[in-house]
Amino acid sequence: WRANAPWVEDAPVEQDLVIRRALVEMFSHPLLARSLAFRGGTALYKRYLSPAARYSEDIDLVQMEAGPAGAVMDAIQATLNPWLGKPRWKQTRGRVTFRYSFESDGAPPLKMRLKVEINTREHVAVIGRTRRSFGVRSRWFERTASIPTFELDELLATKLRALYQRKKGRDLFDLVVALGDVGSDPQGIVHTFRSYMAAENYPITWPNTGKLHDDQRRTMAKRKTLRRSRTSDPKGPLRVVGGPMAARCRAHSQPSRPSTGWQLRSRVVA
């Protein structure tokens, strides 16, 4: 399986196989296949940027239509518990998280985990969803499933939103890799990003977009993993993330009163 997962150690290779099987198992279930869509960094690498440029142990899912999540939660456990064991789970407003713990097959066995998280609050698809065939073929497991996911620019727009709202180096890393390797459209990404922000009633402000540029330059300097990017000019995509893309965001932002400095506003900038 190492041919499909470019990691030196055995544990992350096994983790990749577990993630792939979990995806196929879940989306082979009729209810889950019509209720959930695959999103996040793992979706980005599994669908558009293979082989993966970074290690991931999470599966991010989105409930496509509003409704109770109980049946979906039961179906996930029905597909994963028989071979991963019983998870720890919690349900908060707009989110359900399952945390599975298991041991690797290597000697000595290592403790490993898989997090499956469902966003039950957000049902929007700005550009649209697409179904893609996804399979696993190994001595351990073999099957194929059709998995609903999002177009590349929409996945990157949600990454840009995460970059705007939190400080996690992986968001910048994923944008750098994607903008350097595949045919994404920065203007389309920003348009979709703005639509997501508007849906959340979350304003885009000058201080945050300016701070975005400065913060990510510092993040890039700290994150050694960025040096593994497959692009020949690692700083080139960052110039797009922190330059033109941030500039487009700022073009649609609003300042507060000069006497009080920059402040978040209660309404979304149209």
DSSP 8-state code for residue 201: T
Q: What is the pLDDT of residue 10?
A: 74
Please report, in tens digits, the pLDDT of each residue of the chain (270 residues total). 566 676 767 778 888 889 999 999 999 999 999 999 999 999 998 888 877 778 777 999 999 999 999 999 999 999 999 999 999 999 999 999 999 999 887 778 889 999 999 999 999 899 999 998 998 888 888 899 999 999 999 999 999 998 888 777 888 888 888 887 667 888 899 999 999 998 888 777 655 554 555 555 555 554 444 444 444 454 554 555 555 555 555 555 554 433 333 333 333 333
Residue 128 and residue 26: Cα distance in Å, rounded? Answer: 21
- Classify each residue of 115-138 as buried b or exposed e, where b means 16 or more C-beta atoms within 10 Å of its C-beta: ebbbbbebeebbbeeeeeebebee
Any idea where the domains of the chain sit in the sequence?
2-150, 153-260
Instruction: State the DSSP string of 103-170.
Output: E-SSSS--EEEEEEEEE-S----SS-EEEEEEEEESSS-EEEEEEEEE-HHHHHHHHHHHHHHS--HH
- Report the candidate in 78, 118, 79 with the shortest Cα–Cα distance to residue 98: 118
Residue 40 and residue 212: Cα distance in Å, rounded? Answer: 20
- Is-contact 42 137, C-beta < 8 A? no
- Report the candidate in 60, 102, 62, 72 with the shortest Cα–Cα distance to residue 84: 102
Residue 117 and residue 268: Cα distance in Å, rounded? Answer: 27
- Report the candidate in 157, 154, 155 with the shortest Cα–Cα distance to residue 165: 157
Residue 240 and residue 262: Cα distance in Å, rounded? Answer: 24
Q: What is the pLDDT of residue 163?
A: 85
Strand order in the sheet with 88-92: 88-92, 95-103, 111-119, 58-63, 36-39, 142-150, 129-137
Q: What is the pLDDT of residue 247?
A: 54
List all residues 6 or more positions away from 144 whose beta carbon is below 8 Å from its beta carbon. Answer: 24, 133, 134, 135, 136
Class of domain 2-150: alpha beta
Quick one: tokens of 28?
A: 């082979």
DSSP 8-state code for residue 95: E
Q: What is the pLDDT of residue 69?
A: 95
Q: What is the pLDDT of residue 116?
A: 98
Q: Please state the pTM of the whole predicted model.
A: 0.77
